[in-house]
Amino acid sequence: MGKPVIKPLVVLLLSLILVSECAAIHSQKRRMGQRVKLSLEECGELEKLEAIEPDYYRIEAEGGVTESWNHTNKMLRCAGVALVRRTVKPGGLVLPSYTNAPQLMYYVQGSGIQGMTIFPSCPESFEEPEEAGQEYREQHQKVHEIRGGDIIAIPAGIGYWFYNNGDVPLVVVILLHTNNVANQLGTLPRRFYIAGNTEDEHGEGGREKSISGRNVFSGISLNLLAQVFGVRVETARKIQGPDDKRKNIVMVGGRS
Ligand SMILES: *[C@@H]1O[C@H](CO)[C@@H](O)[C@H](O)[C@H]1NC(C)=O
């Protein structure tokens, strides 16, 4: 069901973005000199848009599949975007991550819930308990129900997760606007997982290949991590998850 919708969708999105990008490249070039790496001449040669498949990188995880489009494709580079598709099994949870670019998420089919942090790492997002003994509550994570047909915009650097609570695969196509001025890390699409142990769906994106455990906590020493979170070293090791084979989409227990 998802497939026939995707090609026209991608072509439509690309056309829209190419049109706005061409204007943006002109004015950006004037404003920012060499920020835009592709020459206008090169992108001017693009005469028609072609449908392309997400056959660049594929991650088979416990709870679903992630496929990306080749972001070095000329059309995508000229539009300044990268694209990825996730197909999440019923009961599958896509672990929280953020990227260097603003994103548009188009839910193609299925239903689920999505959680998003509004002010990442802001201490004020945790409210003081009103009475002694009450737990701290996270106030600034928004949780929404989502279903096929929804489009969600996510600013650069905002962490989010989503979960398939339905009975059919949840399919989402995610567009990263890497050429956006909000992207401060160069033109490659880069996703940073806050949990789990997975490779980047856009390829290594210039990252070190040899690191063990590939979430944002992997590079921190176990003892420091344990101290910062106030947990035991074994728990800190679980946060880094170097031996976790489930990758970026995990099955949530408690469902039959
Ligand atoms: C990605 O596209 C480039 C051309 O833009 C091509 O040279 C390269 O082989 C492609 N990579 C994959 C893995 O398809």
Is the pLDDT score of 64 beyond 50?
A: yes
CATH code of the domain containing 152: 2.60.120.10
The model's confidence at residue 140, banded by pLDDT at 50, 70 and 90, is low
Let me know if residue 199 belongs to a domain: no
Q: How confident is the model at residue 141 (pLDDT cuts 50, 70, 90)?
A: confident
Tell me which residue has tokens 């035991």: 232
Q: Which of 219, 102, 205 is nearest to 152 (CA)?
A: 102
What's the number of domains the chain is made of?
A: 1
Note the pLDDT of residue 23.
52
Confidence of residue 128 (pLDDT cuts 50, 70, 90): low
137-143 contacts: CB < 8 A, separation 24 or more? Answer: 141/115, 141/116, 141/117, 142/115, 142/116, 142/118, 143/113, 143/114, 143/115, 143/116
Model confidence at 206: pLDDT above 50: no
Residue located nearest, by CA, to atom 13 of ligand 1: 56
Test site for ligand 1: of 70, 74, 78, most ligand atoms within 8 A of the Cβ: 70
* Angle at alpha carbon of residue 56, lines to 54 and 88, rounded to 5°: 55
198 occurs within a structural domain: no
Q: Does any domain span residue 86?
A: yes
* CB-based pocket (< 6 A), ligand 1: 56, 70, 72-74
In a domain, 6, yes or no: yes
Output the CA 7–ligand 1 centroid distance in Å. Answer: 19
The CA 70 to ligand 1 mean position distance, Å, reads 6
Burial of 46: CB neighbours in 10 Å, binned 0-12, 13-18, 19+: middle
pTM of the model: 0.77
Task: Specify the residue with its C-alpha closest to ligand 1, atom 5.
Answer: 73
Query: Average pLDDT over the chain, rounded to whole?
Result: 81
**What is the 13 CA–ligand 1 centroid distance (Å)?**
21
| Alpha carbon of 204 to ligand 1 centroid (Å) | 14
First CA to last CA distance, the chain: 25
71 CA to centre of ligand 1 in angstroms: 8
Q: How far is the CA of 50 from the centre of ligand 1 (A)?
A: 15
Atom of ligand 1 nearest to the CA of 203: 13
Query: Which atom of ligand 1 has the smallest separation from the CA of 74?
Result: 5
Instruction: Give the ranges where 33-143 is alpha helix by DSSP (H).
Output: 40-44, 74-79
pLDDT digit string (tens) for 212-256?
447 889 889 999 999 999 999 999 999 898 888 999 999 998 655
Residue 131 lies in a domain: yes
State CA 38 to chain mean position distance.
24
19: in domain: yes
146: its two tokens: 């989502």
Q: Is residue 210's pLDDT more than 50?
A: no
pLDDT in tens, 27-60: 444 444 334 456 666 787 777 788 999 999 999 9
Residue 197 lies in a domain: no
Atom of ligand 1 nearest to the CA of 77: 5
pLDDT category of residue 186 using cuts at 50, 70 and 90:
confident
Amino acid at site 162: F
Which helix (H) or strand (E) segment is 151 a member of? strand 151-154
In-domain check, residue 255: no
What domain range is 80 assigned to?
Answer: 2-189
